[in-house]
Amino acid sequence: MMDLFDRLEQWTSTPLLRLGSSQISLGSLILLAVLAGLLLYLMRQMNRWLREIVLVRLGVERGPREAIATITSYLLTSLILIIGLQAIGVDLSSLTVLAGVLGLGLSLGLQRLAASFFSGITLLIEQPIKVGDLVSLDGVLGTVEKISFRATAVRTLDHVHVIVPNDRLVDSNIINWSYQNTASRVHLPISVAYGTDPLWLTDALLTVARQDSRVLTQPAPTVWFRSFGDSTLNFELLFWTDRPELIEPIKSDLNFRIASEFERREIQIPFPQLVLHRHRSVTTSELPDDYLPSLLRRVDLFRDYDDSQIRWLIEKGRRRTCVVGDVLCREGELGEEFYLILNGRFSVQVKGREEAIATLESGNFFGELAVMLDIPRTATVVALEPGTLFVVDRNNLRHLLERCPNLSQVMAEQLAQRQQVLTNAGLLTPTANQSRPDQLRGILRRVLRL
């Protein structure tokens, strides 16, 4: 038995090759293989421990977490491999010649692999793209699942994994929907028949866009008139969303709603054909009852606005329907919106008074005092019958005043009248020693400051 062990030891210790001053035996190679297998197992466990336990507890996001774990594994693997080679007696200085020969012969074959490797290191360090980002490359839209030393795995919206070499990610133009800010603007083309009222269409598209909770209210959706086609008027609905991975489902849902809204409003999408017809102008009496431009022109503030100003107003506000008993604003609360009454009747009530101090109808507006003078609501407004309001918030009101400077003077006059009425009713504290012109100038300064 001893002879067997002696022979086995002699056999495994017999040099197989020489590297400089180092001799490599079969036993050394077996030991190196065992160390390599153990090293691979330990590195996987450590990578998992870092990525799923330590860095998670430290609150590191998914992308940096993957990068830190991967780079740490690379560095420790290289360090332990060097220590292992020295432990089995390999003189690393003797490998320089061999490395030079191998590098000369394999440089062309490994050029693409080396490029992918260093590109992967670049991605992990600079992180223009990181794990969890939504990217688009060559028509492929998907989420980055893993960045390895050679390639990156991208999972498409159909849950198909695409393996992309790292050097392509570095050298190509890539859309990273998650880079810094996830909010993205989406273009939805719409074509309608000639004869369609652009204002009527704009109102329809914006109404549909604002019904989807995934469409951001700021920046607000808008409508562009793109071109005159052979048989169509070409528009685009532009909206913003912070859910770029849902862009296609959002487009689909909006298209369904647009089709339904067009049917309700009798807006036609033409067939691609040549039609000869006799033109007949549409009279005012034939316009729908809910035609928003006509309703807005009933409000004193916008009675003399042209179509371009009305269209811009439609983009900056939204409709709000209400039923009997709805409370639009409450006395004492802060206000961020003011309301234009398109139809319906509304009661203005204040605490301590049994009867309403005013009744507002179509063409009136309310809520502007709180928005423009930065004061709490001076009254509570309740719907007396079903009605429709046009709502403009503080931010869009600022844009409206910038676009229509003459509106500032008109609103200042209206505010001065309202303020005087409320002061006479004891709802506002009178300003001492301030004449009517001074009061108007003070209000105008506040309007312009807004």
Structural domains of the chain, with CATH? 128-176 (2.30.30.60), 184-265 (3.30.70.100), 292-424+439-448 (2.60.120.10)
CA distance 297 to 291: 10
Confidence (pLDDT) at 225: 93
* Cα angle value 223/228/258 (rounded, 5°): 40
Confidence (pLDDT) at 440: 44
Confidence (pLDDT) at 258: 93
Confidence (pLDDT) at 188: 94
Q: At what angle do helices 394-403 and 406-424 cross, to 10 degrees?
A: 130
CA distance 40 to 373: 69
CA distance 183 to 217: 12
Confidence (pLDDT) at 218: 85
Confidence (pLDDT) at 58: 79
Confidence (pLDDT) at 224: 93
Confidence (pLDDT) at 450: 46
User: How buried is 412 (Cβ within 10 angstroms: 0-12 exposed, 13-18 middle, 19+ buried)?
Assistant: buried
CA distance 372 to 375: 8
Confidence (pLDDT) at 399: 74
Q: From start to end of 233-294, where are the E strands?
A: 233-241
Contacts of 156 (CB under 8 A, 6+ apart): 140, 141, 142, 162
Confidence (pLDDT) at 307: 77
Q: What is the pLDDT along the chain (450 residues), one digit of tens a residue?
A: 555 555 655 655 666 555 555 556 666 667 767 777 777 787 778 777 877 887 778 777 776 777 777 777 777 777 777 776 666 666 655 556 555 655 655 565 556 666 777 777 777 777 788 888 888 888 788 888 888 777 888 888 888 888 888 888 877 788 888 887 778 889 999 999 988 989 999 999 999 999 898 999 888 899 999 999 888 899 999 999 988 888 888 999 999 999 989 988 889 887 765 555 555 545 445 667 777 888 887 777 777 777 777 887 888 888 888 999 999 888 888 888 888 888 899 998 888 777 888 888 888 888 877 777 777 888 899 999 999 888 888 878 777 777 676 676 777 776 677 666 656 656 555 554 444 445 445 544 554 454
Confidence (pLDDT) at 369: 74
Give the type of residue at 268. Q
Distances from the Cα of 376 to the Cα of 15, 33, 276, 336, 380, angstroms:
93, 78, 60, 10, 11
